[in-house]
Chains A and B, each alone.
Chain A
Amino acid sequence: MDTSQLLKGVLDLAVLAVLDRADGYGYEVVRGLRAAGLEDVGDASVYGTLRRLYNAGLLTSYVVPSEEGPHRKYYSLNSTGRERLRDTAKTWRAFAETMEGLVGAA
């Protein structure tokens, strides 16, 4: 199965988890996801997800001048975002356990 289908449901959680480790600008988040093993994630999907989470009030952003290029807009989890991360992570664990129980014998 194409992992991109699975990714759609958990991309929010993945992005929140990456940003929970450290603030980051858009492409950093993309690289963080790839480094974690989600090679199939699309760049535009990550940028779109960041915009949606930001518009939903889960992220704050700040601009850092860069010596190498344009200013970088860094995203950071705020308290609402962290709360959302905990909730979603809980849901994910329960779901993953259920799925593991379901397919573990396969």
Chain B
Amino acid sequence: MTGADDNPQAPTVQVAPGPVDEYLAGVRAALADLPAHEVSEILDDVRAHLADLTDELDGDPDFAALTARLGTPATYAAELRAAAGYPAPPAAAGPERRGGGTARLAVAGLVASTLFVTFGALVGRPEIVLFGALFTLLALPLLGRDGPQVSSVAALAPVRRFRAFHPGAGTAAGSVADFLASLQPAWWLARAFAAAVLLLAVFGFGGIAAALLTLVAAPLSVWIGHRTRRDRRWLWAVVPLNGLAAAVLLTMLFTVAFAAGGSTTYASPSAYQPGLWQDSERQIRDIRPVDSAGNPLTGVYLFDQDGVSIDVSGGSMCGSYDSKGLFFSDPAGPQHPYPRGTLEFDPTTGGCVLVPPAPLVVAVPSAAPTPRSQGIPAAPAPPRLPAPPVTDTPPPTSASPAPAVTAPAPPTG
């Protein structure tokens, strides 16, 4: 036994190693949840106990003899545990409990790290990201001990339940899970792009470098992805970085979406454009009224459905002059009857000049149902026929309702 190994005076073999070692192994397994140093000291005691027993049992007891004298290893361990005041063994199987604490610590570190890194990246606070990265250090005791499959984490009951849950093939949940799994390579490329963007944002390189860096990062990201499938220890680095990449991509997405939203509002000018516009795309700078026969009318005031006068001068290039009063009394300004003519910017003088309404030929709709003009059925009305068909008492100075029809004359000032 071990005690004999370092004592050359002692006989090396007192006990046949088989049954005693078997018994010891059984006791060790039953005490596996206790602290390692405690188990080690207990087993030293048990080993000495079995050696003393062997003397009493005349030399060479088999496992059955030991069990008959002491009870099964589990019974022995339970009795010792009770007498020594150790906590009762957990109801779950022993193996899971070994290293359960460090495994839980590692998982907690992974979750906390991912949350902090992602949150820090979303709110743009690098110090939170770095603080989150520290949490992965909690996993170091575990990762130094466990193999690539991180078996003690895999043995945790919640992890086992999670891994055991497989949505049935053919069901909706199953196809969704399969679809998401098939997206993994796409995610590897996306996170490579995010990594390139992040590095460039940190080190401040240009756009070409972003493209080149993505080319380098993409195969690296794919390699890491495959590597992580084989060695689950990589998860402690990959999952927080995935959170970081997701945060970067989300931030970019929002930035792009806001920029697009801003440009669309900017692209609709009607809400901000002064003046009168037809369907937001054609500015109406003057109005040329004609009667049902196509004869030009002058001195016409126009009102909308609420009786508010219609003014086209707001959109004039020379509108700013209006506010200064320069063209306040100009015939093209507001409060003047149509047609007013248009104000045009004159580059030679730097001011605006009034361009009177030019001669205009318009086509009057044939079926214009004007009761007083029944006698003119012809569609292409001859425009220059100065034949006022109807003229009631013309109130030339009246700015109100009835469409005033005066003799064709240039607009009065």
Contacts and interface: CB of A to CB of B under 8 A. Distances in A.
Given A65-B10, A69-B3, A70-B4, A45 B80 contact: yes
A47 B52 contact: no
A51 interface: yes
A65 B46 CA distance: 17
A43 to B, nearest CB: 6
B48 A27 contact: yes
A33 to B, nearest CB: 13
Given A66-B10, A69-B1, A71-B3, A49 B84 contact: yes
B1 A68 contact: no
Interface string A1-39: 000000000010000000000000111000000000000
A69 B51 contact: yes
A58 interface: no
B11 A68 contact: yes
Determine chain B's interface SS by DSSP, over half rule: helix
B166 interface: no
Contacts of B70: 43-44
Contact of A47 (B3, B45, B55): B45
A68 B10 CA distance: 6
Given A44-B70, A48-B84, A26 B4 contact: no
Contacts of B79: 42, 44-45, 48
A55 B37 CA distance: 13
Contacts of B51: 69-70
Given A44-B71, A44-B80, A45-B80, A65 B9 contact: yes
A46 interface: yes
Interface size for chain B: under 10, 10 to 19, 20 to 34, or 35 or more residues?
Answer: 20 to 34
Contact of B80 (A48, A71, A72, A73): A48
Nearest to A63: B3
A82 B366 CA distance: 129
Contacts of A71: 3, 7, 48
Given A27-B48, A27-B52, A44-B70, A69 B84 contact: no
Q: Give the residue among A44, A46, A68, A71 with the most B Cβ atoms within 10 A.
A: A44
Contacts of A27: 48-49, 52-53
Contacts of B85: 48, 52
Contacts of B2: 70
8 contacts: A27-B53, A43-B49, A44-B79, A67-B9, A68-B11, A69-B48, A69-B51, A72-B48
Given A43-B70, A44-B77, A71-B7, 8 more contacts: A27-B49, A47-B49, A51-B42, A51-B80, A51-B83, A65-B10, A70-B1, A73-B45
Q: Pick the 4 closest A-B CB pairs, nearest first.
A: A70-B3, A48-B83, A48-B84, A27-B52
